[in-house]
Amino acid sequence: MRAGVPVGVLFAPLIPALNDHELERALEAAHGAGADTAGYVLLRLPHELKTLFEDWLHSHFPDRAGHVLSLLRQLRGGQLNDSRFGHRMRGEGVYAALYHQRMQRICTRLALNRNRRPLNTEAFRPPVTGPQMNLF
């Protein structure tokens, strides 16, 4: 922001019991580098990603795999993924509420997300009408 460029940070994916302990430090570092907005996205595991993630988790963190998967299921109504709009990025239930509160406290402490920047549409140009343009 010091150079006039608005800066925000997105902590994604937030993986319970695997990288969630880094949330505060990551946002503090981003704030120190000029970020004035912050958000997070809970790990999503659509389609074949569920199997890939489970295999990776069991290979790299066998001692935590069961706990991580249990927390994800608690955040997703018993499933590893929830594709419903409004639920897929944050989850639901007790752990989702705790992550939300935690994020609110961090943002309050660091003065993040205080001001919403207005949408700037000055560079927008309507699409060219008529026949489709050639790719090459």
User: What integer pLDDT is reported at residue 63 of this predicted model?
Assistant: 97
Backbone angles phi, psi at 38, to 5 degrees: -155, 150
Q: Over the stretch 92-134, which tens digit does the pLDDT of each residue have? A: 999 999 999 999 999 999 999 998 888 889 888 887 777 776 6
Per-residue pLDDT at 44: 95
* Each residue's pLDDT tens digit, 26-54: 999 999 999 999 999 999 999 999 999 99
Write the CA distances from 127 to 28, 105, 119, 131, 132, integer angstroms: 40, 42, 19, 11, 10
Strand partners, 40: 11
Residue type, 5: V
Q: Give the tens place of pLDDT for each residue, 59-76.
A: 999 999 999 999 999 999
Is the separation of the CB atoms in 46 and 77 below 8 Å? no
More confident residue, 79 or 125: 79
| Bigger pLDDT: 130 vs 16 | 16
pTM assigned to the model: 0.82
Q: Look at the block and give the residue holding tokens 């902590």.
A: 11
Two tokens, residue 122:
């000055």
Q: Is the dihedral of CA 118, 119, 123, 126 positive or negative?
A: negative
Output the pLDDT for position 65.
97
The pLDDT of 76-94, averaged and rounded, is: 91
Q: What are phi and psi of 8, to 5 degrees?
A: -135, 165
> Band of the pLDDT at 11, cuts 50, 70, 90?
very high
Contact 89, 41 (CB under 8 A): yes
- Check pLDDT > 60 for residue 1: no
